[in-house]
Amino acid sequence: MFLEPRIPPNTGNAIRMVAATGATLHLVEPLGFDLSEPKLKRAGLDYHDLASVVVHPDLGTALGTLVGMRVFAFTAHATRWHTDVAFEPGDVLLFGPEPTGLSDEVLGHDRVTDRLRIPMLPGRRSLNLANSAAVVSYEAWRQHGFPGAR
């Protein structure tokens, strides 16, 4: 789930990633672009028709559609790594907007199960949004034996 994404190519790349993995990309408005924007289309190439993308008007509505699912919020300020979790089917991976990340209010939301981080060398602020989502999505998919992959 991308909360208020702002950079079209990041979302386009994520659309391509969810098409490749069978995941669903939940986008929470306001978006920093129009979904028909050329940069978004170019980054997603011809995968838009193969991807499952759902747009929600706000975080409350998005989380309301994902009742009973664990929500993992990603922040460079967490102490646990994404590899410390045994992911379950249906888990929600919540990423914040570029360049600010998730607010303290969102990180403290009662639906957030845990805060996680992706390991990086000291002094590095963060990874690109699409890259972060791919790293964690593929780890979750790997833990389940890449079902459906060939």
Annotated binding site for S-adenosyl-L-methionine: 96, 118, 126
Q: What is the DSSP string of the chain?
A: -EES---HHHHHHHHHHHHHHT-EEEEESSPSS-TT-HHHHHHHTT-GGGSEEEEESSHHHHHHHSTT--EEEE-TT-SEEGGGS---TT-EEEB--TTT---HHHHT-TTEEEEEE----TT-----HHHHHHHHHHHHHHHTT-TT--
User: b/e string for 64-94 if b means 16 or more Cβ within 10 A?
Assistant: eebeeebbbbbbeebeeebeebebeeebbbb
Annotated binding site: 96, 118, 126
